[in-house]
Structures are given as structure tokens and as C-alpha cells.
Amino acid sequence: MSGVLARRGPHPLLVVLALVGCLHAFFLLGVELDRTLIHNREIVRLSADVAALEREVSEMRQVAAHASDPVYRETLARALGYVYPHEKLIVTDRR
């Protein structure tokens, strides 16, 4: 060479290594995106579960607040199908 440096391209091994690194990075981005979507779905589902449990606790607190009220207890018992011994229970077919 007469004082002029020949320009060469990047080493093929470096090109392959960079390509593999980029593919790996895109794969990891896909995995993290999938994980984020799964977590968001679980958060929504668990939030609905928590709301349902809070409603149930509220209903139980109402029952506990009226525990000493005989009229309220009788109403609950009748809702469960209990009757006094001198009463007759009539079962109907409601559809």
C-alpha cells in the first residue's frame, strides 16, 4: 500500500454479535410487555375480588350491628326458611 490505508468494514463476528444482542433485547422487551399485561389483568381481577369482599364485610357488619334485635333476627331466620313450630311451611315452585 502506498501510504493509503485500505478501509475495511466491521469484523463479521462483531456484526453477528451486535445482531444477536439486538434480537435478545427485542425478546426481553416482548417478555416484559407480556409480564406487564398479565400483571395488569391480575390487578383488575384482584381489585374486583377486594371490592366483592368489602361488600360482604359491610353486609356482615350490618348483621352484627342488629344481632341483639329480635325482629331483625326473625327476619333473617325467615329468609332462610325457618318457621315457628306452630306454623306450616308452604313451598311453592317459583320460576
Q: What are the residue boundaries of the structural domains of the chain, listed by start?
A: 12-67
- What was the pLDDT predicted at 31? 98
Look at residue 46 in the predicted model and tell me its pLDDT: 98
Contacts of residue 57, Cβ cutoff 8 Å, sequence gap at least 6? none
Element (H, E) at 24: helix 12-65
Task: With CA atoms as reference, report the closest residue to 28 among 38, 39, 16, 20.
Answer: 20
Cα distance between residue 33 and residue 23, in whole Å: 15
DSSP letter (8 states) at residue 11: -
Question: Are the beta carbons of 47 and 55 closer than 8 angstroms?
Answer: no
Q: What is the pLDDT of residue 8?
A: 83
- Against a cut of 0.85, is the pTM above it? no
pLDDT for 6 equals 72
Low-confidence ranges of the chain (pLDDT < 50): none
